[in-house]
Amino acid sequence: MNYKLCIMNYELTSWLFHPRVTAFTTTRPGGYSQGEYGEFNINPWSGDDPDAVLRNRQLLADTLRLSDTTHIILPHQVHRVETYQVRRDYFSQPEASQRAALEGIDIVLTDLPGVCIGVSTADCVPILLYDSTHHAACAIHAGWRGCVQRAIPVGIRAMHEAFGTTPIDLHALIGPHISMERYPVGPEVLDEFTQAGFNTQQFTSLPLEGESEGAFPSSDSPRFLLSLSHFCHHELQQAGIPPQAITDTCQCTFNHPDLYFSARRQGISCGRNYTGIIL
């Protein structure tokens, strides 16, 4: 397992997982949003002030030296596994058509240079894939619901159909997300994984006394600690990606309130972290 490599600035953390791409996660400082959205949130579906979101989005485009904000592809995610490929004709469409194309999308891919594709998270796992043979990229939103629906294999299959990608071509990055010790879930979540055919013993455990304190409301029902990181590592390797080609940022969104938004820590009315990749 590769460890995280990063360069910090006020708006983002750059992940150096392949020299032919720019990969990053936005951080909280340096923007225009306030309160639980403060300061740097570009997600327009989280309840933030629309003007602040637009100003933050422009700031990100300037930071990344993109031609305009339309080159930041921000899908409206719904915890499913629908995919969308960004082609050149996307940019000639009216704004309303662009929004419609990205509605209900949790996996986005492209082979266009100079286009930023990414996903928004506030504890879920952002996965970035880069095909070094065909120079193509994919961003996957992998919360537990997406994991149950096999979002990672779906994304890899979409890249194969679009670009001829094979897993041996791929480099993968597991972005900041909630850590296992901060992510207790109920038995109903484990049931979903079990019914989908997964062996939950590979990525869950019972919490130790005092572990995960504050990460979940108190309840009389049993709780289990879920490791989305272990699950994603397993899925990536099962798909055929070499372990040495998988980089884990190893950062917990819950444990770093100065850097990342966390729905478990703040509630769902908060900003979102955007993890993106540019060829």
Identify whether 193 is part of a domain.
Answer: no
Show the domain range for 103. Answer: 6-179+227-278
Structure tokens that stand for 154 in this block: 């779906």
Q: Is 198 within a domain?
A: no
Q: What is the pLDDT of residues 8-25, one digit of tens each?
A: 555 789 999 899 999 999
Kindly tell me if the per-residue pLDDT of 2 is higher than 80. no
The span from the CA of 147 to the CA of 149, in Å, is 5
Residue 219: pLDDT band with limits 50, 70, 90: low
Which residues fall within 8 angstroms of residue 250, CB to CB, at 6 or more apart? 3, 4
pTM: 0.93
Is 212 within a domain?
no
In a domain, 214, yes or no: no
For the chain, how many structural domains are there in total?
Answer: 1
Per the CB < 8 A criterion, the answer to whether 74 and 42 are in contact is yes
Side chain identity, residue 266: Q
Strand partners, 15: 6, 23
Specify the pLDDT at position 3.
46
Could you report the per-residue pLDDT of 24-36, keeping only the tens digit for each?
A: 999 999 999 999 9
- For residue 195, tell me if it sits in a domain: no
Q: Is residue 207 part of a domain?
A: no
pLDDT digits 0-9 by tens, 78-126: 999 999 999 999 999 999 999 999 999 999 999 999 999 999 999 999 9
Q: What is the CATH number of the domain that holds 164?
A: 3.60.140.10
**Spatial contact of 2 and 247, defined as CB atoms under 8 Å apart:** yes
**227-270 pLDDT tens trace:** 999 999 999 999 999 999 999 999 999 999 999 999 999 999 99
137-165 pLDDT, tens digit per residue, is 999 999 999 999 999 999 999 999 999 99
Q: Report the percentage of the chain scoring pLDDT > 90.
A: 88
Q: What is the pLDDT of residue 6?
A: 59
Q: Does residue 220 sit within a domain?
A: no
Residue 207: pLDDT band with limits 50, 70, 90:
confident
Q: Within a domain: residue 144?
A: yes
Model confidence pLDDT, tens digit, residues 167-203: 999 999 999 999 999 999 999 999 999 999 999 999 9
Residues 6+ apart with CB under 8 A from 51: 32
